[in-house]
Every structure is written in C-alpha cells, then in structure tokens.
Structure 1
Amino acid sequence: MTRAQKRRAIQLRRNLYTAVIVSVILILAALLISRFTLKSNAKSEHEMYLYYTSVTVSAGDSLWSIADEYHTVECGDMRDYIREIKRLNHLATDDIHAGAALVIPYYSADMK
C-alpha cells in the first residue's frame, strides 16, 4: 500500500468515525427532546387546579356526605380529606349543623 493510499484510508476512517459520532449525538438529542415534549403534553392534559367553594349545610347533611360529593382522586384518602375540611373550618369534631357554611376544597381540570 502506498503512502497516499494509507493517508486516504486513514482519512476515510476518520470521516466514518465522525459520521457515527454525529449520528449518535443527533439521535440522543432527538430522543431527549421528544421525551420532554411528551412529558409536558401529558402534564398539561391532566393538570388539576385546587379551588375552594362555600357550602351551606342542609338538614340531614353530614360532613362525610358533603365530602363525598366533592372528593376526587387528587384529594387523596377520604379521611385525610375530611381532616382538611375540618382544619379549614376550625371543626374539632365531625358534627355540623343545618345552616352552617363550610369551606370545601376541590380539584378541577378547568382553570377558573
């Protein structure tokens, strides 16, 4: 093999290595970009917002029946949700009376 042929073979090998490295970098960049794009789309589709509403207690209502009406998966365990309602309304027990106004937290996908 002549000197020129050796140089040509070395140059071709370098070009091949460069092409492989650039291809790998581009593929990794594309994968990272698509992953972050998919995550942000998924997050925005299922994003829930916390709101508060005022509920007037009617005769026959219980704290549990009112909580059951507004409870969703985002609220967590029902007992924790009841504790949060009691904390927000400064209630020591589950006892509520008709005519009382309660602040109830709830989640909604609608941004208000």
Structure 2
Amino acid sequence: MKKLAVVVSALVLVLCMSILLGCNFADAHGSTDEAPVEHRYYKSIEIQSGDTLWGIAEEYMNEKDGSIIEYIDEVKEINGLKSDDIQDSQYLTIAYYDTAFR
C-alpha cells in the first residue's frame, strides 16, 4: 500500500511539473504577432514610356535592399547595363520581396 501511494504521488508530481513547464515552451507554429516572412523573387518587367531606374527602384525595392542607389546598381548588374539609360519596350529583370511563398 505504501509503494502504491509513492507511485501515485510520483505520477501526480510528474503530471503537475509537465503542465507547469509545458506552459513555458514556445509554440512550434510561431506567434501571430510575428511579421510575415518575406521571400526574394525576380521577375521581368517591360519598360514603358517615362520609366526610369529610379522610379522602378521606388516601386519594387524593399528596405532589405539598402538604398535606392544600391538597388539601381543591382538592377544594372543583373541586366548588364553600363548606364542608367533604358528604352521603351525593353525588358529588365528586377528583384522584389513578397510574403507569398511561390
């Protein structure tokens, strides 16, 4: 009888500790307060009349890209551009961020 009481007490203690400590573990799916994860993608855009690299940078860049100048330099490098000149109907590959996983 004494052994049974000790075993039951031990089980109750283990159960209580599991409940108390389990409340402190992080949720495996993350908190809803966290910012969504942004993924970097590349796409081709067609240059329209009046488009500039500066305007494209303002439209597509993200704070993760650094400055507008850095983003423009990257676009030029990706597309093999030697100058800031772009032409109507020209296609450029640009980088952008999105929270949707594709």
Does TM, scored on the shorter chain, surpass 0.5? yes
Q: Percentage identity across aligned positions?
A: 32
Larger Rg: 1
User: Where in structure 2 are the equivalents of 1:58-77 lying within 5 Å?
Assistant: 58-77=48-67
TM score, norm. by length of structure 1: 0.61
Equivalent pairs counted in the alignment come to 85
RMSD: 2.7
Post-superposition, which runs of at least 4 consecutive aligned residues in structure 1 deviate over 3 A? none
TM score, norm. by length of structure 2: 0.66
Query: How far apart, in 2, do the equivalents of 1:76 and 1:41 lie?
Result: 28
Superposed CA deviations along residues 57-109 of structure 1, whole A, max 9, x for unmatched, are 11111111111111121222111111110010001111101110000100011
- Structure 2 residues without counterparts, runs of 5 or longer: 1-16
Are residues 1:78 and 2:68 paired? yes
Comparing both structures, which one devotes a greater share of its residues to helix?
Answer: 1
- Which of 84, 91, 109 aligns to 2:81? It is 91
Q: Please state how far the C-alpha of 1:41 moved relative to its aligned partner.
A: 4.5
Query: How far apart, in 2, do the equivalents of 1:76 and 1:47 lie?
Result: 18
- Structure 1 residues without counterparts, runs of 5 or longer: 1-22
2:92 is paired with a residue whose SS is strand
